[in-house]
Amino acid sequence: MKLQAVRGFKDWLPEDFRRYHYLCEVSRKILSLYGFEEVKIPILERTELYVRSIGEVTDIVQKETYTFIDRNGESLTLRPEATAGICRMVIEKSVYAKQKPIRFFTIGPMFRHERPQKGRLREFYQVSVEYFGDITPFVEAELINLSMHILKEPEKEFGSFLHPLRLEINSLGCPECRPSYREYLVSALKEKKDELCKTCQERLERNPLRVLDCKEDACKRVVSGLKTLNEFWCSACREHFTKLSGLLSSLGLKFFHNPYLVRGLDYYVRTIFEIKAEGLSAQDTVCAGGRYDYLVEELGGPKLPGIGFAIGVERWGLVVFGEDRAVPERQALVFIAPLGDQANELALKLSYELRVRGIKTVPSYEDKSLKAKLRFADKLGVEYVLILGEDEISQNKVCLKDMKRGTQELLPLDDIAFLVNRIKSQAE
Protein backbone atom coordinates (compact mmCIF):
# COMPACT_ATOMS: atom_id res chain seq x y z
CA MET A 1 0.00 0.00 0.00
CA LYS A 2 1.20 3.48 -0.85
CA LEU A 3 1.86 5.47 2.31
CA GLN A 4 -0.30 8.53 2.64
CA ALA A 5 -0.87 11.22 5.27
CA VAL A 6 -3.77 10.60 7.63
CA ARG A 7 -7.09 12.04 6.37
CA GLY A 8 -7.60 15.62 7.53
CA PHE A 9 -3.89 16.04 8.38
CA LYS A 10 -1.99 18.19 5.94
CA ASP A 11 1.58 18.48 4.76
CA TRP A 12 2.92 21.97 4.37
CA LEU A 13 5.31 22.73 1.56
CA PRO A 14 7.63 25.75 1.92
CA GLU A 15 5.09 28.10 0.27
CA ASP A 16 2.43 26.95 2.75
CA PHE A 17 4.81 27.48 5.61
CA ARG A 18 5.64 30.99 4.39
CA ARG A 19 1.95 31.86 4.47
CA TYR A 20 1.61 30.41 7.98
CA HIS A 21 4.71 32.19 9.13
CA TYR A 22 3.42 35.48 7.77
CA LEU A 23 0.10 35.12 9.61
CA CYS A 24 1.94 34.25 12.84
CA GLU A 25 4.18 37.28 12.45
CA VAL A 26 1.19 39.56 11.94
CA SER A 27 -0.56 38.05 14.97
CA ARG A 28 2.47 38.36 17.22
CA LYS A 29 3.09 41.95 16.14
CA ILE A 30 -0.48 43.12 16.82
CA LEU A 31 -0.88 41.07 20.03
CA SER A 32 2.25 42.58 21.44
CA LEU A 33 0.84 46.08 20.78
CA TYR A 34 -2.05 45.11 23.05
CA GLY A 35 0.25 43.82 25.79
CA PHE A 36 -0.35 40.11 25.21
CA GLU A 37 2.43 37.64 25.95
CA GLU A 38 3.01 34.33 24.22
CA VAL A 39 2.80 31.08 26.18
CA LYS A 40 2.94 27.42 25.25
CA ILE A 41 0.78 24.66 26.60
CA PRO A 42 1.18 20.95 25.85
CA ILE A 43 -0.54 19.31 22.91
CA LEU A 44 -1.67 16.46 25.20
CA GLU A 45 -3.70 16.87 28.36
CA ARG A 46 -5.62 14.51 30.61
CA THR A 47 -9.00 13.75 29.05
CA GLU A 48 -10.69 14.92 32.22
CA LEU A 49 -9.65 18.52 31.54
CA TYR A 50 -11.77 18.68 28.40
CA VAL A 51 -14.67 16.74 29.85
CA ARG A 52 -14.83 19.24 32.71
CA SER A 53 -14.27 22.38 30.64
CA ILE A 54 -15.74 21.97 27.18
CA GLY A 55 -18.51 19.80 28.61
CA GLU A 56 -19.30 16.11 28.55
CA VAL A 57 -22.30 16.44 26.26
CA THR A 58 -20.81 18.76 23.64
CA ASP A 59 -20.16 17.63 20.08
CA ILE A 60 -16.44 18.20 20.60
CA VAL A 61 -16.06 15.88 23.58
CA GLN A 62 -18.59 13.30 22.44
CA LYS A 63 -17.52 12.91 18.85
CA GLU A 64 -14.46 14.93 17.93
CA THR A 65 -11.61 14.37 20.35
CA TYR A 66 -8.61 12.13 19.71
CA THR A 67 -8.57 10.25 22.97
CA PHE A 68 -6.44 7.26 23.85
CA ILE A 69 -5.07 5.30 26.77
CA ASP A 70 -1.31 5.78 27.08
CA ARG A 71 1.21 3.20 28.23
CA ASN A 72 0.55 4.03 31.87
CA GLY A 73 -3.15 3.39 31.48
CA GLU A 74 -4.06 7.08 31.64
CA SER A 75 -6.69 8.58 29.36
CA LEU A 76 -5.15 11.42 27.36
CA THR A 77 -6.58 13.70 24.69
CA LEU A 78 -4.97 15.69 21.91
CA ARG A 79 -6.06 19.26 22.56
CA PRO A 80 -9.13 20.30 20.54
CA GLU A 81 -8.71 23.94 21.62
CA ALA A 82 -6.43 25.97 23.87
CA THR A 83 -8.61 27.77 26.43
CA ALA A 84 -8.94 24.78 28.76
CA GLY A 85 -5.18 24.16 28.73
CA ILE A 86 -4.37 27.80 29.41
CA CYS A 87 -6.81 27.84 32.34
CA ARG A 88 -5.17 24.71 33.72
CA MET A 89 -1.77 26.35 33.41
CA VAL A 90 -2.94 29.58 35.05
CA ILE A 91 -4.24 27.54 37.99
CA GLU A 92 -1.34 25.08 38.22
CA LYS A 93 1.33 27.77 38.02
CA SER A 94 -0.67 30.21 40.23
CA VAL A 95 -0.24 32.84 37.53
CA TYR A 96 -3.25 34.71 38.94
CA ALA A 97 -1.35 35.35 42.19
CA LYS A 98 1.49 37.07 40.36
CA GLN A 99 -0.27 39.16 37.76
CA LYS A 100 -3.74 40.41 37.11
CA PRO A 101 -5.17 40.96 34.64
CA ILE A 102 -3.51 38.24 32.60
CA ARG A 103 -3.04 38.70 28.86
CA PHE A 104 -1.83 35.48 27.22
CA PHE A 105 -1.86 34.02 23.76
CA THR A 106 -0.66 30.84 22.15
CA ILE A 107 -0.31 29.64 18.56
CA GLY A 108 -0.34 26.01 17.57
CA PRO A 109 -2.16 22.94 16.25
CA MET A 110 -5.51 21.64 17.50
CA PHE A 111 -7.03 18.25 16.75
CA ARG A 112 -10.64 17.33 16.11
CA HIS A 113 -12.00 14.25 14.43
CA GLU A 114 -14.46 16.01 12.12
CA ARG A 115 -15.44 15.35 8.52
CA PRO A 116 -12.68 16.97 6.44
CA GLN A 117 -13.77 19.51 3.84
CA LYS A 118 -12.68 22.94 2.64
CA GLY A 119 -11.79 24.92 5.76
CA ARG A 120 -12.33 21.92 8.03
CA LEU A 121 -9.36 19.78 8.97
CA ARG A 122 -8.52 17.30 11.66
CA GLU A 123 -5.27 19.02 12.48
CA PHE A 124 -5.68 22.79 12.23
CA TYR A 125 -3.94 25.80 13.72
CA GLN A 126 -5.32 28.45 16.00
CA VAL A 127 -4.15 31.76 17.36
CA SER A 128 -5.78 31.61 20.80
CA VAL A 129 -6.02 34.73 22.90
CA GLU A 130 -7.11 34.75 26.55
CA TYR A 131 -7.70 37.57 29.02
CA PHE A 132 -8.32 36.88 32.72
CA GLY A 133 -9.46 39.13 35.53
CA ASP A 134 -12.11 41.50 34.22
CA ILE A 135 -15.88 41.30 33.81
CA THR A 136 -16.50 44.61 32.09
CA PRO A 137 -17.67 45.18 28.53
CA PHE A 138 -14.61 47.43 28.04
CA VAL A 139 -12.32 44.44 27.82
CA GLU A 140 -14.77 42.64 25.56
CA ALA A 141 -14.80 45.61 23.20
CA GLU A 142 -11.00 45.73 23.31
CA LEU A 143 -10.69 42.03 22.51
CA ILE A 144 -13.25 42.06 19.74
CA ASN A 145 -11.48 45.05 18.25
CA LEU A 146 -8.16 43.24 18.64
CA SER A 147 -9.42 40.20 16.77
CA MET A 148 -10.56 42.41 13.89
CA HIS A 149 -7.28 44.32 14.00
CA ILE A 150 -5.27 41.10 13.61
CA LEU A 151 -7.49 39.64 10.90
CA LYS A 152 -7.47 42.79 8.80
CA GLU A 153 -3.80 43.70 9.18
CA PRO A 154 -2.73 41.73 6.04
CA GLU A 155 -4.99 44.02 3.97
CA LYS A 156 -2.26 46.64 4.32
CA GLU A 157 0.05 44.45 2.29
CA PHE A 158 -2.27 42.45 0.08
CA GLY A 159 -5.22 44.80 -0.47
CA SER A 160 -8.89 44.37 0.41
CA PHE A 161 -10.09 40.84 1.02
CA LEU A 162 -12.25 39.18 -1.58
CA HIS A 163 -14.47 37.95 1.22
CA PRO A 164 -15.34 40.83 3.55
CA LEU A 165 -15.38 40.17 7.28
CA ARG A 166 -18.62 40.29 9.20
CA LEU A 167 -18.74 40.59 12.98
CA GLU A 168 -21.66 38.98 14.79
CA ILE A 169 -22.28 39.21 18.50
CA ASN A 170 -24.77 37.78 20.96
CA SER A 171 -25.19 37.23 24.67
CA LEU A 172 -25.85 33.76 26.03
CA GLY A 173 -27.22 35.23 29.26
CA CYS A 174 -25.91 34.25 32.67
CA PRO A 175 -26.74 31.64 35.32
CA GLU A 176 -29.59 33.94 36.36
CA CYS A 177 -31.44 34.01 33.08
CA ARG A 178 -30.13 31.28 30.80
CA PRO A 179 -31.86 28.36 32.61
CA SER A 180 -35.32 29.78 31.99
CA TYR A 181 -34.54 30.16 28.30
CA ARG A 182 -33.16 26.66 28.16
CA GLU A 183 -36.31 25.34 29.76
CA TYR A 184 -38.46 27.23 27.28
CA LEU A 185 -36.32 26.05 24.37
CA VAL A 186 -36.44 22.38 25.29
CA SER A 187 -40.19 22.34 25.70
CA ALA A 188 -40.79 24.38 22.53
CA LEU A 189 -38.44 22.12 20.54
CA LYS A 190 -40.03 18.97 21.90
CA GLU A 191 -43.30 20.01 20.30
CA LYS A 192 -41.59 20.18 16.92
CA LYS A 193 -39.22 17.27 17.45
CA ASP A 194 -40.32 15.43 14.30
CA GLU A 195 -39.40 18.40 12.15
CA LEU A 196 -35.81 18.57 13.43
CA CYS A 197 -32.84 16.84 11.81
CA LYS A 198 -31.54 13.65 13.41
CA THR A 199 -28.59 15.33 15.11
CA CYS A 200 -30.79 18.02 16.61
CA GLN A 201 -33.27 15.44 17.86
CA GLU A 202 -30.35 14.00 19.81
CA ARG A 203 -29.15 17.46 20.89
CA LEU A 204 -32.56 18.42 22.15
CA GLU A 205 -32.09 17.29 25.73
CA ARG A 206 -28.34 17.39 26.21
CA ASN A 207 -27.30 20.44 24.20
CA PRO A 208 -30.44 22.30 23.07
CA LEU A 209 -28.73 25.64 22.38
CA ARG A 210 -26.80 24.06 19.52
CA VAL A 211 -30.08 23.53 17.66
CA LEU A 212 -30.15 27.32 17.22
CA ASP A 213 -27.17 27.34 14.85
CA CYS A 214 -27.92 24.11 12.98
CA LYS A 215 -27.34 24.60 9.26
CA GLU A 216 -30.24 22.32 8.17
CA ASP A 217 -33.14 24.22 6.57
CA ALA A 218 -35.74 22.23 8.51
CA CYS A 219 -34.14 23.18 11.84
CA LYS A 220 -33.74 26.79 10.76
CA ARG A 221 -37.49 26.89 10.00
CA VAL A 222 -38.37 25.52 13.43
CA VAL A 223 -35.99 27.89 15.22
CA SER A 224 -37.20 30.98 13.37
CA GLY A 225 -40.66 30.49 14.86
CA LEU A 226 -39.36 30.49 18.45
CA LYS A 227 -38.62 33.22 20.96
CA THR A 228 -34.99 34.26 21.02
CA LEU A 229 -32.56 34.30 23.92
CA ASN A 230 -32.55 38.09 24.25
CA GLU A 231 -36.20 37.99 25.24
CA PHE A 232 -35.08 36.12 28.37
CA TRP A 233 -32.04 38.22 29.34
CA CYS A 234 -32.06 39.54 32.92
CA SER A 235 -31.64 43.29 33.33
CA ALA A 236 -27.92 42.97 34.11
CA CYS A 237 -27.30 40.98 30.92
CA ARG A 238 -29.36 43.43 28.90
CA GLU A 239 -27.41 46.37 30.29
CA HIS A 240 -24.11 44.61 29.63
CA PHE A 241 -25.06 43.94 26.03
CA THR A 242 -26.23 47.53 25.45
CA LYS A 243 -22.99 48.88 26.90
CA LEU A 244 -20.87 46.58 24.72
CA SER A 245 -22.83 47.56 21.61
CA GLY A 246 -22.20 51.24 22.38
CA LEU A 247 -18.48 50.64 22.89
CA LEU A 248 -18.12 48.74 19.62
CA SER A 249 -19.88 51.56 17.79
CA SER A 250 -17.64 54.13 19.40
CA LEU A 251 -14.65 52.16 18.08
CA GLY A 252 -16.18 52.39 14.63
CA LEU A 253 -16.76 48.65 14.43
CA LYS A 254 -19.70 47.51 12.36
CA PHE A 255 -21.44 44.52 13.95
CA PHE A 256 -24.66 42.53 13.78
CA HIS A 257 -26.62 41.12 16.66
CA ASN A 258 -27.30 37.51 15.69
CA PRO A 259 -29.77 36.12 18.26
CA TYR A 260 -29.14 32.58 17.00
CA LEU A 261 -25.40 32.70 17.56
CA VAL A 262 -24.26 30.06 20.07
CA ARG A 263 -20.95 28.30 20.67
CA GLY A 264 -20.04 24.64 20.67
CA LEU A 265 -18.45 24.73 24.11
CA ASP A 266 -20.30 24.71 27.41
CA TYR A 267 -18.23 27.23 29.28
CA TYR A 268 -19.37 30.46 27.65
CA VAL A 269 -21.57 33.03 29.43
CA ARG A 270 -22.88 36.37 28.26
CA THR A 271 -20.89 37.83 25.38
CA ILE A 272 -19.98 35.61 22.46
CA PHE A 273 -18.90 36.63 18.99
CA GLU A 274 -17.88 35.28 15.62
CA ILE A 275 -16.20 36.83 12.63
CA LYS A 276 -17.24 35.38 9.32
CA ALA A 277 -15.72 35.81 5.90
CA GLU A 278 -18.73 36.27 3.68
CA GLY A 279 -18.96 33.75 0.87
CA LEU A 280 -15.74 31.93 1.80
CA SER A 281 -17.27 28.44 1.84
CA ALA A 282 -19.63 26.39 3.97
CA GLN A 283 -17.05 26.91 6.73
CA ASP A 284 -16.84 30.67 6.86
CA THR A 285 -16.16 31.44 10.52
CA VAL A 286 -12.55 32.56 10.83
CA CYS A 287 -12.63 33.67 14.44
CA ALA A 288 -14.82 32.84 17.41
CA GLY A 289 -14.78 33.67 21.07
CA GLY A 290 -16.57 34.74 24.17
CA ARG A 291 -16.67 35.16 27.91
CA TYR A 292 -16.09 32.28 30.32
CA ASP A 293 -16.45 33.68 33.82
CA TYR A 294 -16.78 30.42 35.75
CA LEU A 295 -14.40 28.13 33.89
CA VAL A 296 -11.32 28.69 36.06
CA GLU A 297 -13.37 28.10 39.19
CA GLU A 298 -14.95 24.97 37.77
CA LEU A 299 -11.48 23.61 37.06
CA GLY A 300 -10.54 24.04 40.71
CA GLY A 301 -9.00 27.51 40.55
CA PRO A 302 -9.97 30.80 42.14
CA LYS A 303 -12.81 33.07 41.02
CA LEU A 304 -11.24 34.43 37.86
CA PRO A 305 -13.41 35.61 34.99
CA GLY A 306 -12.04 35.20 31.50
CA ILE A 307 -12.69 36.11 27.91
CA GLY A 308 -10.95 34.92 24.79
CA PHE A 309 -11.10 34.09 21.14
CA ALA A 310 -9.46 31.82 18.61
CA ILE A 311 -8.60 32.54 15.01
CA GLY A 312 -8.60 29.56 12.66
CA VAL A 313 -5.31 30.11 10.85
CA GLU A 314 -6.09 27.98 7.75
CA ARG A 315 -9.42 29.74 7.18
CA TRP A 316 -7.84 33.13 7.76
CA GLY A 317 -5.19 32.10 5.23
CA LEU A 318 -7.90 31.37 2.66
CA VAL A 319 -9.26 34.90 3.21
CA VAL A 320 -5.85 36.54 2.89
CA PHE A 321 -4.23 34.43 0.16
CA GLY A 322 -7.13 32.73 -1.62
CA GLU A 323 -6.03 29.40 -3.09
CA ASP A 324 -2.69 30.46 -4.46
CA ARG A 325 -1.42 33.92 -3.53
CA ALA A 326 2.19 33.63 -2.42
CA VAL A 327 4.04 35.46 0.31
CA PRO A 328 6.99 37.13 -1.36
CA GLU A 329 10.47 36.21 -0.22
CA ARG A 330 11.81 39.19 1.70
CA GLN A 331 15.53 38.48 1.69
CA ALA A 332 17.38 38.39 -1.63
CA LEU A 333 19.24 35.16 -2.29
CA VAL A 334 22.78 34.99 -3.59
CA PHE A 335 23.45 31.91 -5.68
CA ILE A 336 27.02 30.73 -6.12
CA ALA A 337 27.89 28.94 -9.34
CA PRO A 338 31.31 27.27 -8.97
CA LEU A 339 32.76 25.26 -11.83
CA GLY A 340 34.92 22.31 -10.81
CA ASP A 341 36.23 20.85 -7.57
CA GLN A 342 38.60 23.64 -6.61
CA ALA A 343 35.85 26.19 -7.21
CA ASN A 344 33.45 24.09 -5.15
CA GLU A 345 35.81 24.25 -2.21
CA LEU A 346 36.07 28.04 -2.57
CA ALA A 347 32.27 28.27 -2.84
CA LEU A 348 31.88 26.26 0.35
CA LYS A 349 34.06 28.75 2.23
CA LEU A 350 32.71 31.84 0.49
CA SER A 351 29.07 30.96 1.19
CA TYR A 352 29.89 30.59 4.87
CA GLU A 353 31.66 33.98 4.92
CA LEU A 354 28.63 35.63 3.33
CA ARG A 355 26.14 33.95 5.65
CA VAL A 356 28.15 35.05 8.67
CA ARG A 357 27.62 38.58 7.36
CA GLY A 358 23.87 38.09 7.04
CA ILE A 359 23.64 37.32 3.36
CA LYS A 360 21.43 34.44 2.32
CA THR A 361 23.58 32.23 0.12
CA VAL A 362 23.13 28.92 -1.67
CA PRO A 363 26.01 27.32 -3.60
CA SER A 364 25.42 24.80 -6.36
CA TYR A 365 28.06 22.03 -6.28
CA GLU A 366 26.56 20.00 -9.09
CA ASP A 367 28.67 19.01 -12.05
CA LYS A 368 26.81 21.16 -14.58
CA SER A 369 27.65 23.83 -17.11
CA LEU A 370 27.52 27.51 -16.21
CA LYS A 371 24.60 27.90 -18.58
CA ALA A 372 22.63 25.20 -16.80
CA LYS A 373 23.41 26.72 -13.42
CA LEU A 374 22.32 30.18 -14.53
CA ARG A 375 19.13 28.75 -15.99
CA PHE A 376 18.41 27.10 -12.66
CA ALA A 377 19.16 30.33 -10.74
CA ASP A 378 16.77 32.17 -13.03
CA LYS A 379 14.07 29.62 -12.35
CA LEU A 380 14.57 30.11 -8.62
CA GLY A 381 14.10 33.84 -9.12
CA VAL A 382 17.58 34.52 -7.77
CA GLU A 383 18.75 38.13 -8.00
CA TYR A 384 22.54 37.71 -7.73
CA VAL A 385 24.87 34.98 -8.88
CA LEU A 386 28.53 34.73 -7.96
CA ILE A 387 30.39 32.89 -10.69
CA LEU A 388 33.57 31.04 -9.80
CA GLY A 389 35.09 29.72 -13.03
CA GLU A 390 38.70 28.87 -13.93
CA ASP A 391 39.35 32.40 -15.27
CA GLU A 392 38.01 34.09 -12.18
CA ILE A 393 39.96 31.86 -9.80
CA SER A 394 43.21 32.31 -11.68
CA GLN A 395 42.85 36.08 -11.15
CA ASN A 396 41.73 35.57 -7.52
CA LYS A 397 38.42 37.16 -8.48
CA VAL A 398 34.75 36.33 -8.48
CA CYS A 399 32.16 37.52 -10.98
CA LEU A 400 29.01 39.13 -9.52
CA LYS A 401 26.12 38.86 -11.93
CA ASP A 402 22.98 40.90 -11.38
CA MET A 403 20.28 38.72 -12.91
CA LYS A 404 17.60 41.45 -13.07
CA ARG A 405 19.76 44.16 -14.60
CA GLY A 406 21.80 41.74 -16.67
CA THR A 407 25.07 43.41 -15.58
CA GLN A 408 28.20 41.77 -14.22
CA GLU A 409 31.51 42.82 -12.66
CA LEU A 410 34.69 41.20 -11.43
CA LEU A 411 35.41 41.62 -7.73
CA PRO A 412 38.37 40.55 -5.54
CA LEU A 413 37.77 37.15 -3.97
CA ASP A 414 39.79 37.86 -0.83
CA ASP A 415 38.08 41.14 0.10
CA ILE A 416 34.86 39.81 1.60
CA ALA A 417 33.88 43.14 3.15
CA PHE A 418 34.05 44.79 -0.26
CA LEU A 419 32.07 41.97 -1.87
CA VAL A 420 29.39 42.17 0.81
CA ASN A 421 29.13 45.93 0.34
CA ARG A 422 28.71 45.56 -3.40
CA ILE A 423 25.93 42.97 -2.93
CA LYS A 424 24.20 45.04 -0.28
CA SER A 425 24.39 48.30 -2.22
CA GLN A 426 22.97 46.63 -5.32
CA ALA A 427 20.12 45.09 -3.30
CA GLU A 428 19.02 48.49 -1.98
Question: One-letter amino acid identity for 2?
Answer: K
Buried-state track 82-115, b at ≥16 Cβ within 10 A, e below 16: bbbbbbbbbbeeebbeeeeebbbbbbbebbbbbe
What pairs with residue 46 in β-bridges?
Answer: 76
For ligand ATP, what does the binding mask look like between residues 315 and 334, x meaning CB under 6 A?
A: x-------------------
The reply to whether 55 sits near ligand ATP by the rule CB under 6 A is no
**Residue span binding ligand ATP (CB under 6 A) among the ranges 283-291, 325-333, 398-406, 418-426:** 283-291
The reply to whether 339 sits near ligand ATP by the rule CB under 6 A is no
List the one residue from 58, 77, 207, 283 that touches ligand ATP (CB under 6 A): 283
Which residue's CB atom is positioned nearest to ligand ATP?
312
Residues in Cβ contact with 324 at an 8 Å cutoff, skipping those fewer than 6 apart: none
Helix (H, G, I), strand (E, B) or coil at 412: strand
Question: One-letter amino acid identity for 382?
Answer: V
The reply to whether 287 sits near ligand ATP by the rule CB under 6 A is yes
Instruction: Give least dist CB 60 to ligand ATP, A.
Output: 7
List the one residue from 78, 89, 121, 296 that touches ligand ATP (CB under 6 A): 121
**Radius of gyration (C-alpha) of the chain in whole angstroms:** 28
Number of residues in contact with ligand ATP under rule CB under 6 A: 19
The reply to whether 264 sits near ligand ATP by the rule CB under 6 A is yes
Report d(CA 386, CA 220) in Å as an integer. Answer: 66
The reply to whether 126 sits near ligand ATP by the rule CB under 6 A is yes
Q: In the complex with ligand ATP, which residue's Cβ is closer, 112 or 192? A: 112
Distance of CA 92 to the CA centre of its chain: 26
Show contacts with ligand ATP in window 69-88 (CB under 6 A).
Answer: 81
Instruction: Give least dist CB 214 to ligand ATP, A.
Output: 11
Instruction: Give least dist CB 61 to ligand ATP, A.
Output: 12
Write the DSSP assignment of 330-382 as a string of letters: -S-EEEEEE-SHHHHHHHHHHHHHHHHTT-EEEE--SS--HHHHHHHHHHHT-
> Which value, to the nearest 10 degrees, does the dihedral of the CA atoms of residues 409, 413, 415, 419 take?
40
Q: In the complex with ligand ATP, which residue's Cβ is closer, 112 or 397? A: 112
Q: Which residues bind ligand ATP (CB under 6 A)?
A: 81, 112, 114, 119-121, 124, 126, 263-264, 283, 285-288, 310, 312, 314-315
